[in-house]
Amino acid sequence: MKLMIYIFCFNNCFGLLRAVIDTLSPLNGDRKCFRLVNGVLLERTVKDVLPALQTNHDGVKNIMNNLVHSYKTKEEEFIAFQKEHNIKVISRS
């Protein structure tokens, strides 16, 4: 369950980073923008911020892929355990 929560959170972060990158990409590189880093608001230019955002975006994507892979592996192990020990899920209607 925790793994699914992490996947959901990283998916939201991934979407937000993508939205910011898409918003800043068409702008002039010398344009002023602001970035919040560890609670401190920094004034930077678009050309300074975009590479950092892209790096963060790629990192979040890699983490998400690793979490999804881990989730699928655990799910397969659980299904194998259920079959090995003849465990059946009974749903209540």
Burial class (CB in 10 A: 0-12, 13-18, 19+), 45: middle
- How many Cβ atoms sit within 10 Å of the Cβ of residue 49? 19
Listed residue (7, 2, 5, 13) closest to 66, CA to CA: 7
Domain boundaries, the chain: 2-84
For residue 79, the model assigns a pLDDT of 93
For residue 44, the model assigns a pLDDT of 96
For residue 91, the model assigns a pLDDT of 84
Architecture category of domain 2-84 in CATH: Orthogonal Bundle (1.10)
Q: pTM of the full predicted structure?
A: 0.80
In order, the DSSP letters of 26-74 are TS-TTSEEEEEETTEEEEEEHHHHHHHHHHHHHHHHHHHHHHHHHHHHH
For residue 14, the model assigns a pLDDT of 93
For residue 89, the model assigns a pLDDT of 84
For residue 26, the model assigns a pLDDT of 96
Residues of the chain with pLDDT under 50: none
d(CA 53, CA 55): 5
* pLDDT per residue as tens digits for the range 34-50: 999 899 999 999 999 99
Listed residue (53, 66, 67) closest to 17, CA to CA: 53
